[in-house]
Structure 1
Amino acid sequence: MDVKYINPFVQAFFSVMPQLGFNEIKKDGINLKEDNLTNSGVVMTVGIVGEVKGNVVYCTDLENSKKIASVMMMGAPVEEFDEMAQSAVSELANMLTANAATFFSEIGITVDISTPTLLYGNNISIKMSSSQVLCVKMSADGIPFEVNISVDN
């Protein structure tokens, strides 16, 4: 997978997270995964269409999703992963992917994105759109966050 398809997602994380109130943003590693992802916690998937096609799947655990929602809601305590917290975390997936689409446009690649789909629970299985999935491990204020990218041009 060409790095030019990965960098917009990494740039988006470094751009969006500080705007939401996170201070320490890091890229913690990159690895390849199979096209069948299994995750427990919170999974947000967004489709990508246009000159690049595929999907991106964001993953973190339930407790960290509540922490992210709390930061996004100006520090309001989030005890339950209720409708408000789910909406906040879904909006994060939307913001990250829309920002990545903007970075794609800056390198001359036009893409559109779908509305995010949020799933949560144990052993969530997702079949990615291509056989090659690149997982970028990110963190914001110590909260681990996976960005799983599966695109073809």
Structure 2
Amino acid sequence: MDVAIINSFIASVTDVMPQLGFSSINIKNQLEKSKKIVASGIVLTLGIVGDKKGNVAYAIDTEGAKQIASIMMMGMPVEELDDMAKSAISELSNMLTANASINLSNESINVDISPPTMLTGENIELSMSKDQVMCVEFDIDGIMLEINVALD
């Protein structure tokens, strides 16, 4: 996978998350995965079309998603992932992917994104659109966020 693609998503996280109030953003791991992604908690997937085609999937455990939703909703306590909290997490995936697409356009790669689809539960199995998937695992103020990118 083109380094510019994965770097666009990494830059998106490091640019957007501080704007929302997060202070410590660290890459924990970068690895290549197979087409099949398995995660528990919340998985958000967005399609990408244009010069590059594929999809991106964000995975966050349920407690982490509640913390992110709380911060995005100005500190309002989030005891459960109700519709408002789910909306906040979905909007985060929109913001991160849109920012990555702007970063890609700065590399002369023009893409459009679909609205996110949210999956919740344990051992969620998702088949990515490409055989080669680049995964970046972030620790954001103690919250683990995994980004899986499958584009070519």
| Distance in 1 between residues matched to 2:124 and 2:142, nearest whole Å | 24
Report the CA distance between 1:32 and its aligned residue.
1.2
| Distance in 1 between residues matched to 2:111 and 2:36, nearest whole Å | 24
Secondary structure of 2:84 counterpart: helix
**TM-score, normalized by length of structure 2?**
0.98
| Distance in 1 between residues matched to 2:8 and 2:29, nearest whole Å | 16
Structure 1, 18-27 or 87-96: larger mean CA deviation: 18-27
**TM-score, normalized by length of structure 1?**
0.97
Render the CA deviation track for 1:21-55: whole Å, top value 9, x for unaligned.
10111111101111011111100001110001110
- The residue type equivalent to 1:115 in the other structure is P
Gap regions ≥5 residues in structure 1: none
Secondary structure of 1:67 counterpart: helix
Gap regions ≥5 residues in structure 2: none
Report the CA distance between 1:58 and its aligned residue.
0.3
| Distance in 1 between residues matched to 2:124 and 2:29, nearest whole Å | 23
Equivalence for 1:85? 85
Equivalence for 2:28? 28
| Distance in 2 between residues matched to 1:80 and 1:142, nearest whole Å | 19
Is residue 2:38 matched to residue 1:18? no
Identity of aligned residues (%): 53
Give RMSD over aligned pairs: 0.7
